[in-house]
Amino acid sequence: MGADTGEPTRADIERVRVEVYRGYAEQGHPPVRAALEAATRLSPADVERALAILAATRHIVLDDDGRIIMAHPFASIDLHFSVKGSHTLWWGGCAWDAFAIPHLVPGENEVLVATTCPACGTPHAYVVGTSRAPAGDEVAHFLVPAAHVWDDVVHTCSNQRIFCSERCVDDWLSATGNEHGSTFDLATLWRLAAHWYEGRLDSPYVRREPSEARAYFADVGLKGAFWGLEEPEP
């Protein structure tokens, strides 16, 4: 801990971040506070300060009671996607996150992702691996534009879903009164997920700059102002 400020150092905060992510990756849920304190050799107060800073800087999500509920691509609340690996069961934070987990977790080259269509309730399951996109005519629809993802991140993630078809997207939008966001195929979803979270289990982790994020979106085939790109969608 920094002697002058009484606050955890950057190195302390990074150690807590890595422990949270590795706990999710290895166990499917975040470590409890006592485990964080033991692993990092920080006091309970310093662990709480570090978690608060990580939440403020958008590395993790805490609920109103201070519980860790997300560290993208992992979640510990039901956001409509289960991800079954060879030894671990995860909640995926959204369609994007669920497809990302096999690319991030060592030794999990394929996982079984299960969800339901928000419009009609049809169940869908995909074997998602690291070598190619899963087959399927379903589409992903993301409701909240990239610039507003963190306005209410749980709401955002709850509305990054997979639908049977664009007709189901239209039916759901009509039923809910929401406006159309961004719709794309499973291959694009897979490309979006494939490298987005690289490095999050490692240290130090360096977040992409906004310009790098926009370039990534363009490279995987996304278009339009929804993704912060200049050309509007037709």
- The fraction of the chain above a pLDDT of 90, given in percent, is 94
Q: Is the pLDDT of residue 207 over 80?
A: yes
Please name each of the domains of the chain with its CATH number: 10-71 (1.10.10.10), 76-198+208-220 (3.30.450.410)
Q: Is the pLDDT of residue 1 over 70?
A: no
Q: Identify the pLDDT of residue 2.
A: 42
Q: Is the pLDDT of residue 232 over 90?
A: no
pLDDT 10s digits, 171-183? 999 999 999 999 9
200 pLDDT tier (thresholds 50, 70, 90): very high
Mean pLDDT, to the nearest integer, of 157-182? Answer: 98
Q: Is the pLDDT of residue 17 over 50?
A: yes
Q: Is the pLDDT of residue 233 over 70?
A: no
pTM, rounded to two decimals: 0.93
Mean pLDDT, to the nearest integer, of 109-122? Answer: 97
Q: Identify the pLDDT of residue 7.
A: 85
Q: Is the pLDDT of residue 209 over 80?
A: yes
Q: Is the pLDDT of residue 11 over 60?
A: yes
Q: Are 134 and 112 in contact (CB under 8 A)?
A: no
CA distance 61 to 78: 14
Q: Which two tokens stand for residue 125?
A: 């399951």
231 pLDDT tier (thresholds 50, 70, 90): low
CB-based burial, 82-115: b 16+ in 10 Å, e otherwise: bbbbeebebbbbbbbbbbbbbbbbeebeebebbb
Q: Is the pLDDT of residue 3 over 50?
A: no
pLDDT 10s digits, 126-139? 999 999 999 999 99
